[in-house]
Chains A and B, each alone.
Chain A
Amino acid sequence: MSKEFIDHRNHVTRRHFLGKLSLGIGSAALGSLLIPDLFSKSESPLASLGLPHFAPKAKRIIYLFQNGAPSQLESFDYKPMLNKMAGEELPASIRMGQRLTGMTSGQSKFPLVGSYFKFNQYGNSGTWVSELFPNIAKVVHDICFIKTMHTEAINHDPALTFMQTGAQQGNRPSMGSWLSYGLGSENKNLPAFCVLLSRGRGNGQGVYSKLWTNGFLDSVHQGVQFSSSEERVLYLKDPEGRDRADRRNMLDQLSQLNDLNHKEFGDPEIQARVQQYEMAYRMQTAVPELTDLSKEPDNIIKMYGADCLVPGTYAANCLLARKLSEAGVRFVQLYHQGWDQHGNMVGEMPLQAQDTDRSTAALIMDLKQRGLLDETLVIWGTEFGRTNYCQGDLSKENYGRDHHPRCYTIWMAGGGVKAGTTYGETDEFGYNIVRDPVHVNDFHATVLNLMGMNHEQLTYKHLGRYYRLTDVAGNVVPGLIA
C-alpha cells in the first residue's frame, strides 16, 4: 500500500514537476527577452573602460627612474645664489620651520652650499645644465624640464612608492600596471610591462618588487623583471637536449589534454593557461631577437657607450629599453641605483653621471632617428630632491645633501610633451616653489593624459570603491603638453 502510494506520488510529482518546469522555463524565457545581456557573454573589462579615451600623444613609455634622489642642484636646477652664500646659514624665512629628516634634524647649523660643478647654458632655450651631463645637454631641445615637482614623503621608500604607485604604503598597482590594464599589450609576444635594474657606483637605496606590482589588478599586469645576467628572461630556454620541435610537440600534446579537461569542466582558466604556454613559446623567438646586440651598428654601440655591451649596466638597459619599446612594449621601467648622496657629493655624483649621461641622451637620439620619439614618452624621474644646505661636514672639497621633498627636478621627452621648455620655478635658494608646482598626482594625471587616458576614468573597483592611479586628486598640467 505504502509503496503504491509512493509510486503514485512519484509519478504525479514527476509529471507535475515537468509540467510546472515548462511553465517556469517559459516564463524565464519570456523574462529574458527583457534582459538582453543576461545570457550573452560578458564584455571584456577593457571594452567597458573605453580606452584610450581620446587620441593619445604617446603610445609607449620608457621611464628612467634614478633611484635614491639625484641632486637637482648639481644637475638641472641652477642656483648661483647658493655659491655666493656658501657656508651661510639657511635663512629661517626660507625654511619656514618645515620638517627635516632624522638625519639632519639634529644638526646645529644648516650651512648653504652651492654646486661644486659648473653650469652652462645649452640649446635655443638657454637651459642651464651641469657639466656632469654633457650629453643630456646636447638634447635639451627635445626635453621638457619640470623644476617644481613636489611630494609628500621625506624618506626613500614611501616617496619611491608614492612616485611609482600613487600611494606611499605599497601594494597599489604601479604606473606600468595601470598602463597595461588600460591599454593592453601591443605585441602579444612580450609582456606589456618590463622592468630593468642596474646598480650605480654611489650610495644606493633598494628597489623592491612592490614597485612593479599589479596590486589588486589582474596578475597579467605585473611588471616582468628582466635579469641582469646574459639570459635576460629566465626559464625561457629549452632544457638541454631538447629542441624547438620537441617543445612544439609537447605543447600540442599538452593542449590536447587541456582541451579535454576544458570540455569536461569548462573552466576558462584552463584556456588562459594554454594561451600563456603559447605566449612563452613565442617569447622563445621574440626575446633572443631583442637581446641580440650583434646586429646593432658600431655607431649605436658608440652612442650608448661601450658599457651597453655589458648586461646589467644602465647603458645596456637603455639600449634594451629602446629595443623593447620598438617591439611594442607599453611600459619599460628602468631603475638605476646609487643616487643617495648624503655625503661625498663631489666623489659620487660624477660617477653616477658618467654611468648614465651618455646612454640617456643616446636613447633619445636613437628613438628620434628611427621616428619613434614622437610616439614614445621618455621620463627621467626620481622620488624627491636634495637640500640646499649641507649635511655633515662642509669643506671646500666636499659636502652632502639630505632629502628634500619640497621641490625637485624631473624631465620628460618625446611623446607629446613641450620640447625645449622648462616648467615651473623654484626660489633662488632652490628650497621652495615660486610658481607652477607639480604634485606627484598631477604628474601621473599628465602622463596618463599623454597616453590618451583620463586619470579620473581609469578606475578599478576594489574593496568597495573605485581606485585610480591618482586616487582622489591630481590635475592634468596643460603647460607640459605640446
Chain B
Amino acid sequence: MKQDAAFNQQPIGFLKSLTLFILFLTTFLFAFENRIELPVWLQITGRLHPLLLHVPIGIIVLTALLLLLRAQFKSKQFVLLMTYLLLFITLSAAFTAFFGLLLAIGGDYGADTLQQHKVSGLILAWLSYGVLWFYQSSSEIIALKHGSIVLLLGVVVFVGHTGAGLTHGENFIWEPLQTTEPNLDPETVSLYQLAVVPVLEKKCFSCHNEKKSKGKLIMAVVEKFKQGGESGAAFIPGHPDSSRMIQFIHLPLKHDDHMPPDGKPQLTQPEILLLQAWIKSGADFDKKLGAYAPDDTLVLLAMQNTSFTKVAPAYTFKAASADVIEKMNTPFRTVFPLHVNSPALKAEFFVKDYFEIKALEELRQIEEQLVSLSLSKMPVTDADLNLLSRFSNLEVLNLNSTLINGSGLGNLTSCKNLKSISLSGTQVTTGSLITILTLPQLKTVYIWNTAIDAVGKAELEKAYPHITFVHNLFTDESTLALSKPILVNEGILKATDKIELKHTMPGVTIRYTVDGTQPDSVSGMLYEEPITIVETVKLKAIACKPGWYCSSLFESSIYPEGYKPLQTELLAPADKQYRGEGSTSLTDGRKGFVDIFKEPAWLGFRNNNFEAGFDFGNKPPAINKVVLSYGDNLGAYIFPPTEVQVWGGNSKDKLKLLMTQKFSEPKGYRTPYMSFITVNWETSNHTYYKIIAKPISKLPLWHGGKGQKGWFFVDEVFFY
C-alpha cells in the first residue's frame, strides 16, 4: 500500500480530483445543453477538441499494447506504470469530452451521429475513471483488471468512429469500395443525379449533409439544397456568377469563405465548369439527360466528368482501335471519327500524284466503321471499285473527277446504306448509273459534268422520283469577255530577254502590236513565240477565243536595258517626301507602281526641276537617245513634264545643249498609267550627260487644283 500512498500524494491526488471535477461539470453541461449560451472564448476552447482527442486514443492504445509486454517489466513497476498511464487517460479523456461538448454546442452538426458521439464520449471518460479506480483497488483478479483496459480500447474505437463520421461523413471508410455501377439510362436518370451529384458527393456533402451542416447548408438533400443556408440561397438558377456557392469556389484559397476550405480536396477546373453550367442552365434537379440537346455545354461537361460515353448511339457497330486509326493516317490518307466517341469513320485521300491503290485496300481494316469516303480527284478506275463493295456501312461516297466511266458501279450494290454519291467530272453514263439507283437509302446523286445530259437527267428523275439528281446548276447562255493576257516579264528587259505573253485559259489566241495601233480579233500580230524588241515600246495586246468576247486591251511600256552610266548624281534635290534612294533609283532597274509613289523606286519633284548628271567614264558609248520613264496620275497632281533638256560634254562644267523638247499639257483627267518620254539627238560620244525635266508650274484650269504647282515623278532613265 506504500505505492498507493505515494500515488495519492500531490500533485497526483490533485489531478485525480481535477478529473472528477471536469467529469461532473461535463455531465452537468450535457444535461442542460439546450439552455447554454457559450461565450466566444469558450467556443475557441471547444475547437481544441480535434487536437486533444488524439491524446487519450494514443495512450489507450499504448496501454493496451504494454499489456502484451508486461513480462518484460518487474511486476511492481508495471503496476505503477499502468496506474500512471490510466491517470493520463482519465485526465485527457475528461478534458476531451469537455471540449467536445463545447464544440458540439457551438457547431452545426447532424443530430444522430452527434448524440451517439456525445454519449459514448462521456461514457468513455467516466469509464476510464472507473478503470483507474478499479486498477488501484485491492482486487486480486489481475486478468479482470487487464480485461477492463481492453474494454477501454473497444469503447475508444467506437467513440473515435462516431467522431470521424461527423467530420468525414458516415460512409468515410467503406466509400472507396462501394463502386456502384451508375445507371446511365438517359431516359430515366436526371443529369443532376448522373453528373452533378458525384461531384458534390466528393467535394461538398461531407460538410453539408443532414448530420453536419456547416453554415446551416444541407446540400445532400435536394429540398434543403434548394432552400440554402444561413446566409441565403446557395445558387440562383440561371446566374452562376451571382450564386453564392460559385462565388465561394472562386475566392482565393486562403480566404475564410473559400470553398471547399483550405486543406480539403479542391474542385477541379472541369468540376467547377460543370457546376457553373448546371446553374446557368437553370439548376434543374429533374431534367433527364435525354431531354438535353446533345450539343449542350452541360451535357458535354457531364460527359467529361463521368464515365458514360454517349447520349444516344447513332451507330451500333464497334469502334476500331485507336492504333488502327492512327496507322491509317498518312500524309495522303486521312481517317478520323465523325466526332468524339463516335465509332463511325470518314476517310479522305489527297494529292493524286501520291495515290496508291494499296492505300485503298488497307481500308479493309475499318470496313465496318467506314461511313464516308472521298476519293475525289484520285486516279481510281472502275476496276478498283470492287474494293468498295466491302464497306457495308458506307453512307457518303465521293468519286468526283476520278477516272471511272461507271462500269464498276455495280460493285456498290452491297453498300446498302449508301445515301449520297458524287460522280461529278467523271464519264459516268445513264446505263451504268442505274445499277445502283435501286439502293434503298440512296437520296442524292451528283452527276454534273458527266456523260449524262439534261435529257438523260430528266429521264432519271422520272424513273427514280425519290432521288435528287444534281446536274449543271449554271445555265447562262450570255457571252462574256475574256480576261486580259498576262505579261510574264514586266518592266525592263535584259539584252537577251524577249517579251513573253500568256493567258491562263486554254485555247486562247493573243494578238499584239508594238507600234501604238490597236490590235483586235483579226488585226495585229498573232502571238506565237516570245517577242524580241530593240527599243522602248508600248505593247498592246488582247486575248480572243471562240464563244467569248475578246478581252479588253492590255497595255504596258517595255524598256530594253540600254547603256549604264558609271556614275549618276542628282544636281537638284528631290522633294523631301519622295527622295527614293537618291540618284540610284534612276538606274537600279526597279520600276515603280502608278499608285504607290512612296515606293523607293520613285523620285518626286515639285518646287524645282529634275536635274541629274550621268557619267559614262573614259570610254563612252555612242548614244543618240534617252528615255525617261515617269508616272502619269493627273488626279494626284502628277503630270508629265512641260519641257525636257539634254546637255552633253566631256566634263561636268563644259556642257552644251543637245536637244530641248517641249510637251503640251493634258486636256483632262485620264486613267493613271506608266508613261515614258523619248528624246533623240545626233549620235554623240560624250562622257557626261545632264538631263533636265521641268514639272508643270501651274495646273490647267480644268484641274481641281488649278493654278497650283504640279508634280513630276520619275523612276528610271535609259540611254541608247
B297 within 8 A of A: yes
Shortest Cβ distance from residue A13 to the other chain B in the assembled complex, whole angstroms:
38
Chain B interfacial residues counted at CB < 8 A: 57
Q: Is the CB–CB distance between B295 and A365 below 8 Å? A: no
Instruction: Indicate whether A53 reaches chain B with its CB closer than 8 angstroms.
Output: yes
Contacts of A456 in B (CB 8 A): 273, 277, 297
State whether the Cβ of B484 lies closer than 8 Å to any Cβ in chain A: yes
Q: Output the nearest chain A residue to B346 by Cβ-Cβ distance.
A: A59
User: Complex Cα distance A55/B339, Å?
Assistant: 5
Once the chains bind, are B348 and A369 in contact (CB under 8 Å)? no
- Which chain A residues lie closer than 8 Å to B340 at the CB level? 50-54
- The answer to whether the Cβ of A391 comes within 8 Å of any Cβ in the partner chain is no
A309-B483 contact, Cβ under 8 Å, with A293-B504, A369-B471, A369-B473? yes
Instruction: Verify A371–B398 contact, CB threshold 8 A.
Output: yes
Closest A residue, CB atoms, query B334: A186
Whether a CB of chain B sits under 8 angstroms from the CB of A261 is: no
Find out whether the CB atom of A293 lies under 8 angstroms from the CB atom of B505: yes
Asked if B308 is an interface residue, CB under 8 A from chain A, the answer is no
Give the CA-CA distance A476 to B281 in the complex, in Å. 13
Asked if A297 is at the interface (CB within 8 A of a chain B CB), the reply is: yes
Which residues of chain A are near B420, meaning CB under 8 Å?
371, 374
Query: Which of under 10, 10 to 19, 20 to 34, or 35 or more describes the interface residues of A?
Result: 35 or more
- Cross-chain contact B473 with A52 (CB below 8 angstroms): no
- The verdict on A369 contacting B472 (CB below 8 Å), with A310-B483, A327-B350 known, is yes
Q: Is A306 in contact with B482, judged by CB distance below 8 angstroms?
A: yes
Q: A327: nearest residue on chain B (CB-CB)?
A: B350
- The smallest C-beta distance from B69 to any residue of chain A, in angstroms, reads 30
Q: How far is the CA of A452 from the CA of B449 in the complex (A)?
A: 32
- Closest chain B CB from A252 CB (angstroms): 16
Complex-state Cα separation, A306 to B543, whole angstroms: 11
Q: Does A477 reach chain B (CB closer than 8 Å)? A: no
Closest to B398 in A: A371
Q: Check if B675 is an interface residue, CB within 8 A of chain A.
A: no
The residue on B at minimum CB distance from A452 is B339
CB of A285 within 8 A of chain B?
yes
In the bound complex, do residue A371 and residue B295 qualify as a contact, i.e. CB atoms below 8 Å apart?
no
B345 shortest CB reach to chain A, Å: 13
- B481: interface (CB < 8 Å): yes
Question: Beta-carbon contacts of A312-354 to B below 8 Å, as 1s and 0s?
Answer: 0000000000000011100000000000000000000000000
Residue contact B473 to A368, C-beta cutoff 8 Å: yes
Q: Which residues of B contact A303 (CB under 8 A)?
A: 474, 476
Contact of B504 with A188 in the complex, beta carbons under 8 Å: no
Give bound CA distance, A370 to B480, whole Å: 24
Known contacts A369-B446, A371-B422, A371-B444; is A294 also within 8 Å of B504 by CB? yes
Query: How far apart are A409's CB and chain B's nearest CB, in angstroms?
Result: 24
Q: Give residues 357-387 of A contacting B (CB, 8 Å).
A: 362, 365, 368-372, 374
The minimal Cβ–Cβ distance linking A232 to chain B, given in whole angstroms, is 12
Across the interface, do A55 and B350 meet the contact criterion of CB distance under 8 Å?
no
Contacts of A188 in B (CB 8 A): 330-332, 334, 350
Does B400 make an interface contact (CB < 8 A)?
yes
The reply to whether B504 and A309 contact each other, CB–CB distance below 8 Å, is yes
Q: Taking the complex as formed, is B548 at the interface, i.e. its CB lies under 8 A from any CB of chain A?
A: yes
Is the CB of B294 closer than 8 A to any CB of chain A? yes
Asked if A307 is at the interface (CB within 8 A of a chain B CB), the reply is yes
Tell me the B416-452 residues at the A interface (CB within 8 Å).
420, 422, 424-425, 444, 446, 448-449
Interface pair B301/A457, CB less than 8 Å apart: yes
| Bound-complex Cα distance A303 to B484 (A) | 17
Q: Which residues of A contact B339 (CB under 8 A)?
A: 51-56, 452
| 15 A–B contacts from the bound complex (CB under 8 Å) | A50-B340, A54-B294, A55-B314, A55-B339, A286-B350, A294-B506, A298-B547, A301-B505, A303-B474, A310-B504, A370-B400, A371-B444, A371-B446, A456-B277, A457-B301
Interface residues of A, Cβ cutoff 8 Å to B: 50-56, 186-190, 230, 278-279, 282, 285-286, 289, 293-294, 297-299, 301-303, 305-311, 326-328, 362, 365, 368-372, 374, 449, 452, 454, 456-457, 466, 476
Closest 6 CB pairs of A and B: A371-B422, A369-B448, A371-B446, A365-B473, A309-B504, A50-B340
Chain B residues close to A by CB (< 8 Å): 269, 273, 277, 294-297, 300-301, 304, 314, 330-332, 334, 338-342, 348, 350-354, 376-377, 398, 400, 420, 422, 424-425, 444, 446, 448-449, 470-474, 476, 480-484, 486, 503-506, 547-548, 551
Q: A294-B504, A371-B422 are in contact. List 18 more A-B contacts (CB 8 A).
A: A51-B340, A53-B339, A54-B295, A54-B339, A55-B294, A186-B334, A186-B348, A298-B547, A299-B449, A309-B503, A326-B376, A327-B350, A328-B334, A368-B470, A369-B472, A369-B473, A371-B420, A456-B297
